[in-house]
Amino acid sequence: MHPSALAKYRPFPAVSLPDRTWPDHMLTQAPEWCSVDLRDGNQALPQPMSVEEKLEFFDLLVRVGFKQIEVGFPSAAETEFNFLRRLIEEQRIPDDVTVQVLVQTREHLIRRSFEAIAGARRAIVHIYNSTSPLQRRVTFGNASREDIKRIAIEGADLVKALVPTVPETTVVLQYSPESFSDTELDFALECCNGVIDVWQPTPTQKLIINLPDTVQWTTPNIHADMIEWMCRNLARRDSVIVSLHTHNDRGTGVAATELGLLAGAERVEGTLFGNGERTGNLDIVTVALNLNSHGIPTGLDFSDLQSIRTVYERVTRLNVPERQPYAGELVFTAFSGSHQDAIKKGLDLRAAELKSGPVPWGVPYLTIDPQDIGRSYEAIIRINSQSGKGGVAYVLDREHGFDLPKTMHPQVGKRIYDLADQLGRELSADEIREAFFREFVNLTSPLDVTDYELIHHTTERGRVQCKAIILLHGEQLSIQGLGNGPINAFVQALEALGIKDFKVTDYRSHAVRGGSDASAAAYVQLQHQDGRLLWGAGVDPSIEMAGLKALVSAWNLLR
């Protein structure tokens, strides 16, 4: 922003609350949740959902575990009205789910809303009117505080009078001083207490006072101060549920909600993945999974987050960003080499510790176990030019079943991420496997083994003779050697040919997980007479042949 533009802005005033208590609180239980995807979220879509799409989304919200769902603004449009009537008349609302309808505090709209909820087992009628100085001046033409307060009280009076017209429905009143976020606290309190006086809630029949952070004007700590001040001063506090409805204009919707809960709120309204006006509403998925990450149950089931995201993206025609907390495609992915190495070590250590019984989650860089929300470890580590040796080894192990020796990681890692740097992009798991085979596995130039035979000596226990046919620089040769195993015998054959300029310093082998035609992998490390150490790999149905191919690959790499 240009410095000359700053003169038009002013800091938001702080709340005088020197004895605030919320900073010392901890979140120990989940709030009541209310999804507003079908109303607040729907009105923010470039192309609002059809009735059939809203029905699918409603069913999704029920499966996730929402017990309160704002289904629309039935007095505003026939589509909204008909959707709610269909839910009721087709008995699509489970007995433990309460539908919520939003309505301005205007008589004809409230009456129409009661026509919409008739026959529902339980419904929240959510009335609101704008209360902030800016709204009073701009929207209502300099309306007085008394004028605005009267609107709230008359709306509550009308709702109370209409309750007997829907005898089959338990009606819960919810009131929002809309634009609470920039309303004077004393005036917001006057409006809320005026509604409370009309409704006369009790501890068993509570009223919901919703305090919307309609537009984020300030930092989350000031929002928390505002919530704590209201919680202290609301009439009949034991008969009132204080609810939060944060937007995300400053990018702090989640933080404002979490601090608001510390400050005494008991209920949260929001949407899946934060869809809403402007920069969006609160992302309920993030807040709920944040609580889960501290071991707090929420009543919401995000164990298959990908399928939830799939439905959401189809019916809203929006995309969840790649870096969206928990749900984004890349949030459990590490490209950095040091991160990859730490994650791999953490996962390996955890697997070992779990053999002795349950242990708390603790893997570097991963706040939760991706498997708990339907993600898989295979996607965690991905390879580009910033990646390291541990990440490449992780992908080869988890994706393709090759358990490389630890000291082989730097050699393979450097080759692979050099390739990624050359291409200027991420490498897929299959590309990593192809590059590994191209650079390290079953190398045949200048030396290749085309056939071999092992003869186990009966007179010298443990000794074997290796007879092999090789190609060296294109020339076919027959060689043989005697040793204490296939590898050693082949080395003796190379020495007899005069081409042994190394010593074998390490050998490993294993069955390839998920392998079919190539079921064995072997790794041989050679030290050249000039001091260089290099690994080669071999893959073959025969474990013995895999070892020979690994030795030959290493010999070729030393050239």
| pLDDT range class, residue 164, cuts 50, 70, 90 | very high
Backbone torsion region of residue 412, taken as left when φ is above 0, otherwise alpha when ψ lies between -120 and 50, otherwise beta:
alpha
Taking the CA atoms of 189, 181, 316 and 42 in sequence, report the sign of the dihedral they define.
positive
Average pLDDT over residues 91-104: 97
d(CA 187, CA 342): 53
The domain boundary residue, chosen from 421, 439, 457: 439
Query: What backbone torsions phi and psi does residue 464 show, to the nearest 5 degrees?
Result: -130, 150
Q: What is the pLDDT of residues 485-521, one digit of tens each?
A: 889 999 999 999 999 999 999 999 999 986 555 589 9
Strand order in the sheet with 475-483: 447-456, 464-472, 475-483
Within this chain, do residues 423 and 477 fall inside the same structural domain, yes or no?
A: no
> 312 in helix, strand or coil?
helix
Lowest mean pLDDT among 9-18, 255-264, 334-343, 378-387: 378-387
Q: For the chain, how many residues are written?
A: 559
d(CA 67, CA 54): 17
Within this chain, do residues 427 and 459 fall inside the same structural domain, yes or no?
A: no
Within this chain, do residues 128 and 165 fall inside the same structural domain, yes or no?
A: yes
Contact yes or no for 178/211 (Cβ under 8 A): no
Within this chain, do residues 424 and 463 fall inside the same structural domain, yes or no?
A: no
Within this chain, do residues 405 and 492 fall inside the same structural domain, yes or no?
A: no
The whole-chain average pLDDT of the chain stands at: 93
- Kindly state whether residue 22 falls inside one of the protein's structural domains: no
Residue 133 has pLDDT above 80, yes or no: yes
- Kindly state whether residue 44 falls inside one of the protein's structural domains: yes
Instruction: For residue 269, give its domain range.
Output: 30-316
**Paired tokens of 490:** 């082949």
Contact yes or no for 125/113 (Cβ under 8 A): yes
Domain holding 237: CATH number? 3.20.20.70
Lowest mean pLDDT among 57-71, 137-151, 508-522: 508-522
Within this chain, do residues 154 and 214 fall inside the same structural domain, yes or no?
A: yes
Scan for tokens 């537009």, then name that residue: 215
d(CA 486, CA 453): 9
Residue 458 has pLDDT above 80, yes or no: no
Q: What is the pTM of this model?
A: 0.76
**Paired tokens of 544:** 């013995």
